[in-house]
Amino acid sequence: MPGFEIFGEEEKQEINDVIDTGVLFRYGFDAQRKGVWKARSFEACLCDLSDVKYAHLCSSGTAALITALAASGIGAGDQVIVPPFTFIATIEAVLSVGAVPIFADIDETLCLDSDSLYKVVTDKTKAVIPVHMCGSMAQIDKIKEFCDKENLILIEDACQSIGARFNGKAIGTFGKAGVFSFDPVKTITCGEGGAIITNDEEIYLAAEAYADHGHDHIGDDRGKENALYLGTNYRINELNAAVGLAQLKKLDFILKKQKENKGYIKNALSNINNITFRQIPDEKGDSATFLSFFAQDEASALKIVDNLNKSGIGGYFYWYVNNWHYIKQWKHLKSLKAPNKLTAHPDKYPDYSSINLKVSDNIMKRTISIQIKLGWSQTELADYTDKLVEAIKAV
C-alpha cells in the first residue's frame, strides 16, 4: 500500500494548478478556475480505469461506503451481510445508515465465502458487502450469483484493492456500486478521500446529491439548485483530488512493481512446506499489495510472529489480534458502544458478543500478511526475504 512512498513533482504540479486558481471547492466558480477541475478529472480517470460510466469522489472511503448504501436505498432496519475480516469502517458504514450488519464466514480467499451467505440470509436482508481484502479479491462471481438469485443489492468494498481485476473485469464493478479508499496508507492516496463507481445512473445521481446535502448540481447558481434529498457533506476538495489525480497516473507503475516484489518473495516462500498461501481467485488480477499465508495452526503462527518480531524486519500483520481488522477484538461492536443511540431499534441487532464464526476464527488464527513495498532496493528485498524465510523455517 505504497502511494505515500512515491510523492514527487507530479503531485506538486497538480496541487499548484489548484493554488494558482484559488478555487478549492469542487463545484462552481467556473470563470475563476480557468478550466481546472481536479475532482472531475480524477473521476473521469477512475471511470477509464474501471471501465464504468460513473465515478463520484467523497471525502473518505468510509464516506463513500455510507453514500453508496444510502444511494442504494439501504436504511433503518435493513440487514446487510458483511465479513468479520475487514477494516471496522465497513461495519460502521452499515450502522451509520441505521442498517444491521449480519456476519457471514470468510474462506481462504480471506473474503466472504459465498456458501456461508446462504446460512445467514433472511427476509430482511437487503444487501451484501464483500470486502476485497489486502489487494486481492473475493470469489466475486459466486457472490454475485448469490445476490442475483436472492435479489439482493451487491456493494463491493474495494477500498484496499484498486487496480485488482477478476477475469479481466475491474474489482468494484460487479454489483450496484463499488467503493475505493484513498486514505494515506492505500495503494494510491489523496491524503483523505474515497470514491464510488457505478454503471447505474440513478445510484450515481443519488450518490452525488447525498454527498453534498442533496444538491442536484444543475445550473450555475448554487443557491437556486434543487434539493433532491436530505444528505450530508462528504465532498472531496480540489487539493485532495489533485493529489489523487497525480497518484492515479502512477497506478500502472505501482501495480507492476508490487507484482514483481510479491512474486520474488512468494517464489522464495514456495519451497517451505509448513505454510500454504491465501487463495487468489484470479492470480493475474491480484493488485499485490500484500502476500498472505497460513501457518499450520495457531501455535505455529504465533511462533512465526515471534520470530519475525525478533528479526526486526517489520511490515507484517497478524490480523487475528489486531484491534481494527477482525471481529474478535471489536469490543465496541459487541457492546454496541457509540456516543449516541444507534438508529435501528436495539431489538434489531443480533447479540454480536455471542456470534459464532468458527470457520473464520480458524482461518484468521493461522493468517499472516506481509506488506509489499515499492521502495525496496534489490538488496533490501533480498535481505527482507531471507529473514522472512528464516523466521518461517525455524518453526
Ligand X SMILES: Cc1ncc(COP(=O)(O)O)c(C=O)c1O
In the complex, which residues of this chain contact ligand X (CB under 6 A)? 60-62, 86-87, 89-90, 131, 157, 159-160, 181, 183, 194
Give the CA diameter of the chain: 69
Number of other residues whose CB lies within 10 A of the CB of residue 95: 19
Residue closer to ligand X (CB basis): 163 or 392: 163
Could you tell me how far CA 61 lies from the centroid of its own chain? 7
Residue closer to ligand X (CB basis): 67 or 114: 67
For residue 6, give the nearest of 257, 216, 204, 201 by alpha carbon. Answer: 257
Residue closer to ligand X (CB basis): 160 or 385: 160
DSSP letters spanning 172-234: T-SSSEEEEE-STTSSS--SS-EEEEES-HHHHHHHHHHTBTTB---SS-GGGS-B-S---B-
Q: Could you tell me the smallest distance in angstroms from the CB atom of residue 326 to ligand X?
A: 12
Q: Could you tell me the smallest distance in angstroms from the CB atom of residue 154 to ligand X?
A: 16
Residue closer to ligand X (CB basis): 137 or 395: 137
Q: Could you tell me the smallest distance in angstroms from the CB atom of residue 78 to ligand X?
A: 19
Q: Which residues contact 265 (CB under 8 A, 6 or more apart)?
A: 291, 370, 372, 381, 384, 385, 388
Residue nearest to ligand X (CB): 61
For residue 211, give the nearest of 193, 230, 182, 232 by alpha carbon. Answer: 232
Strand blocks (E) in 38-93: 54-58, 79-82
Residue closer to ligand X (CB basis): 198 or 300: 198
Q: Could you tell me the smallest distance in angstroms from the CB atom of residue 58 to ligand X?
A: 9
Residue closer to ligand X (CB basis): 193 or 231: 193
Q: Could you tell me the smallest distance in angstroms from the CB atom of residue 273 to ligand X?
A: 32
